[in-house]
Amino acid sequence: MIFSDREKAIWRPPVFIPTKEWGEKNRELSALTSASAGRWSMDMIPFFIAVLDALDDEDVEIVVLQKSTQIAGTETFLTWMGKVADQDPGPAMMCFSDEDTTNEVVDRRLDPLFKNSITLAKLIDKAKFTKKSITLLNNFSLTPAWASSISKTASRPIRYLYLSEITKPGYGKVGDEGSVLTRIFQRTETFPNKKIAIETTPTIEGDNIDKQMGLCDVIFDHHVPCPKCGVHQILRFRPVKYRNSAGVEVMSGCVVWESKPEILDEKQRMRAEAETARYKCGDCGELWTTGQKNAAVSRGKSFPRTSFPGKPKRVGFHISRLYSLFPGGRLDALVLSFLQAKNDPEELQSFVNNSLAEHWKPYKITSDIEELKKAKCGIQAGIVPDIADAIIVTVDMQQTYFWYLVRAWSSRLKDSWLIECGQVADWEDIDELFFEKTWKKADGKEFGCWRGALDIGGTKEEGKDVSRTEEAESWWIQNRRRAKRKIFLCKGSSRSMPTKISIGKILETTPSGKKIAHGGLQIIELNTPVLKDLFFHAIDRAAENASGAAYLNDQIPDSYFRHITAEAKDNDGNYVKIGKDNHLLDCEMQQFGMISRELFGGIDRLLLHHQVSEQRQNQSSSGGEMPNQQEDSGQKNPYLDSGGSDENPYIQR
């Protein structure tokens, strides 16, 4: 009897070859989806060889990969899926983060995986090769899915399960009896030779990938040899303790760079600092270039973090972008991303998660007054530090009086110092704070308020009502000439906002319907939780004496500490009130709204002002000036001004 190639392909008994070898023989990558088009190779992803070996190991049931974004993880798992489809068919499911991603992977990656591989292409039955499921002539079947669709897919058993981004809401929480993750794992239980592959970028501590890694019998890191001393070691951005391949606890190396404080322009400074980036060997201290780092990664090996008696069933891997041989893994690119993100908790979290593949520790809200006091820096109340160049006054309006808070800011460092805080009684005091009062440096130089915020929001239970809002709006209208683009009426947002602040629509009438002349009034909406995060982040930075710090002075009244510790975060990360008064915390939160770039360029406008006045100084040798008002300085910068309109280029819609 003579069989056709097609029949041979279907009836051929399975021959085991490692996934790596199968991929190198059978996969073609297209230039559309891959940085390295052509024949699939692991040259650019040597650290994933151990991941594929674990998937090939018959004792291993679950392989968990905690990884950065954009390091070709998905292509690696697709290769594995292609290999089992060809060599050891069974029912499979691949689950991606959401519907759009799933459709994209099906079109751009799954489709070519089967059609461009000679062995798999022979097995395609056109009628059974659709977007919703793929069934091959050898009985391999694959269902693409996404987190929120898994529960809808038929509950047929699955032998090969691939899950990506299991931190997405659709998966539910680990340990939650009815969670999607628990139920989908149950569907693999009928197969003694099942295989589960999980690939996810971490989010906050305790998320699903954190828990799955925690359940692993053993976790592997890729150890790379130093070009100078030859010692194998893990790669980390910041130094950490770990066990080396001999089981001895040692410190890792880290990424280092030179600081260049002499460069005043922030963007130029960050770029110049990033260019000096090197990797410092954890053993001999040798500084490696990106090229040397990449060569070391290519010569690396996987080592387990701990020893495990017997054969591990669950195996974890951790791979950050530091290992990447693609441009994103360049040391200068990583340092630049870090410098751009470091003063903003949200951006920093994104860097830590997506680039370093590490979990983010949520800021603890300091309810301990002794902890808060670590942010003191030895300055006296009322004195403006030498390096400060702006004063911001923020006010929280009560029914019959006001809480206020004054901070001095350095536009270059984004450091700030609490100058004074307390209560004032009436609108005349408010006039004085915003428009008349000055604060002095040790050399006698005086500063008035550069920007101010007046919180008119709040609820009735706090004693703020509509008539009080009306009063505040009338006050602003009366003072519009000196308040415009300088004093902002604000309110905390009750909706979730994509930005730190948002400039409201132009109001043409007050709450009672009174007409607002001369172009109306705009209320600034504040993203309260994010701005509070920024404040607490800056307080942490002060305790560490790092840049972006919010310092306290040495004569802080007790009321300040009571207000700051009046809120805590619940388990979902939301701020909840635990004390009576939180008004000074609101004032601190508003300070961070006032420096935000989304508010007419924020405090970065002052940097521009300094450059302009330095140029003037160089040209005419006239004395430098200290900016009290940024408004009428006449400079135009395309990043700060959008053609003179109030439309703000930084707000993403």
Residues forming contacts to Zn ion in the complex (CB under 5 A) are 226, 228-229, 281, 283-284, 286
Smallest gap from Cβ 227 to Zn ion, in A, equals 8
For residue 550, give the DSSP letter.
E
How far apart CA 358 and CA 201 sit, in angstroms, is 8
Smallest gap from Cβ 358 to Zn ion, in A, equals 23
How far apart CA 135 and CA 313 sit, in angstroms, is 29
Smallest gap from Cβ 231 to Zn ion, in A, equals 5
How far apart CA 90 and CA 188 sit, in angstroms, is 11
Smallest gap from Cβ 278 to Zn ion, in A, equals 12
* Secondary structure (3-state) at 489: strand
How far apart CA 253 and CA 281 sit, in angstroms, is 5
The DSSP element (H or E) to which 562 belongs, if any, is helix 558-564
Nearer to Zn ion, 229 or 442 (CB): 229
How far apart CA 539 and CA 416 sit, in angstroms, is 10
Question: Phi and psi of 225, rounded to 5°?
Answer: -85, 135
Smallest gap from Cβ 289 to Zn ion, in A, equals 14
Burial-class residue 83 by CB neighbours within 10 Å (0-12, 13-18, 19+). buried
The DSSP element (H or E) to which 67 belongs, if any, is strand 62-67
Nearer to Zn ion, 281 or 336 (CB): 281
Smallest gap from Cβ 297 to Zn ion, in A, equals 15
Smallest gap from Cβ 286 to Zn ion, in A, equals 5
| Residue that is written with structure tokens 């239970």 in the block | 461
Nearer to Zn ion, 183 or 228 (CB): 228
Nearer to Zn ion, 284 or 442 (CB): 284
Smallest gap from Cβ 135 to Zn ion, in A, equals 53
* Secondary structure (3-state) at 503: strand
Question: Dihedral, CA atoms, 183, 186, 187, 191, nearest 10 degrees?
Answer: 170
Nearer to Zn ion, 229 or 578 (CB): 229
How many residues are given for the chain?
653
The DSSP element (H or E) to which 418 belongs, if any, is strand 416-424
Nearer to Zn ion, 88 or 286 (CB): 286
Nearer to Zn ion, 250 or 612 (CB): 250
Please compute, for residue 434, the number of CA atoms within 13 A of its CA located in the half-sphere on the CB side: 25
Question: Phi and psi of 274, rounded to 5°?
Answer: -60, -35
Nearer to Zn ion, 264 or 284 (CB): 284
How far apart CA 146 and CA 144 sit, in angstroms, is 7
CA 129 to chain centre: 38
Nearer to Zn ion, 162 or 279 (CB): 279
Nearer to Zn ion, 227 or 362 (CB): 227
Smallest gap from Cβ 35 to Zn ion, in A, equals 29
Tokens standing for residue 383: 């004195």
Burial-class residue 227 by CB neighbours within 10 Å (0-12, 13-18, 19+). middle
How far apart CA 333 and CA 335 sit, in angstroms, is 6
Smallest gap from Cβ 250 to Zn ion, in A, equals 12
